[in-house]
Amino acid sequence: MDNFVVISGCSGGGKSTLLAELASRGHWVVEEPGRRIIAEELKGAGHALPWIDLRAFARRAVDLSLADRAAVADWPGWVFFDRGLVDAAAILKYLGDSAAVELCRAHRYNRQVFLTPPWPEIYTTDDERRHGLDEAVAEYERLQRVYPSLDYAVSVLPKRTVAQRADFILAALAPVQ
C-alpha cells in the first residue's frame, strides 16, 4: 500500500515521539506492535517477551502487524507505522527463520522507509525496553540490511527536533502524493 509508511530504526531513537507529532498533524498512526505485545504479556504470566522467548515475541509481532495492516486498509491518507511486518521478520531471520521475510514481499508498505539512527543522548530503558544501547544498535544494523534487500528506499532521519523530523518525512513523501 503506497499510503502505508514505516518509521523504524534504532530502539530509543525517538520513533514514538515522532509518530505522536505526525498524529497531532492529523495523520493516522499505528503504534508499535512490540510495545503492545510486551504491555499485554506483562499484565499476565506471558512468555512472548523478547527477553524470555524472542521467537514467540516475533511471531506475535508478525501476526499483529498483519492485523494492523488489515485494520487500516481503507484509510485514504498517510498511515504511519511505528515499526511493522519487516521489523518482526528481521527478528525471525536473525533467529534463522527466513519464511517471514517472504511474507513481507506479499505485504508491502510505501517504498520509502524512514529509520531513526542510534542516538545515545536520548536513549533510555524502561519496563518494556530492557535491552541496552549496544543491542539496539545491532538491531538497527540488521534493519539497515533487511529493508534494502526487500527493495525499500531507506532514509535515515536527521537528529533534529521532533517537528523538523516530521517536516523531513512529509517533504520526502510530498512528491509521491
Q: 68-94 as b/e, with b when 16 or more CB fall inside 10 Å? A: bbeeeeeeeebbbbbbbbbbbbbbbbe
Q: In the numeric block, which cell numbers belong to residue 107?
A: 505485504
The values of phi and psi at residue 90, to 5°, are -65, -35
The span from the CA of 85 to the CA of 35, in Å, is 14
120: three-class secondary structure by DSSP? coil
Residues in the chain: 177
pLDDT category of residue 98 using cuts at 50, 70 and 90: confident
Give the per-residue pLDDT at 5: 97
pTM for this entry: 0.88
What the chain holds in terms of domains, given with CATH numbers, is: 4-176 (3.40.50.300)
The span from the CA of 117 to the CA of 85, in Å, is 19
pLDDT category of residue 61 using cuts at 50, 70 and 90: very high
Residues 14-37 have a mean pLDDT of: 92
**Amino acid identity at 35:** R
Residues 34-61 have a mean pLDDT of: 87
Give the per-residue pLDDT at 81: 95
Give the per-residue pLDDT at 128: 58
Q: In the numeric block, which cell numbers belong to residue 20?
A: 505522536
CA nearest to 59, candidates 17, 89, 24:
89
pLDDT category of residue 79 using cuts at 50, 70 and 90: very high
Q: What is the pLDDT of residues 101-160, one digit of tens each?
A: 888 989 999 999 999 887 656 555 555 555 555 777 778 888 899 999 999 999 999 989
Fill in the DSSP letter of residue 175: G
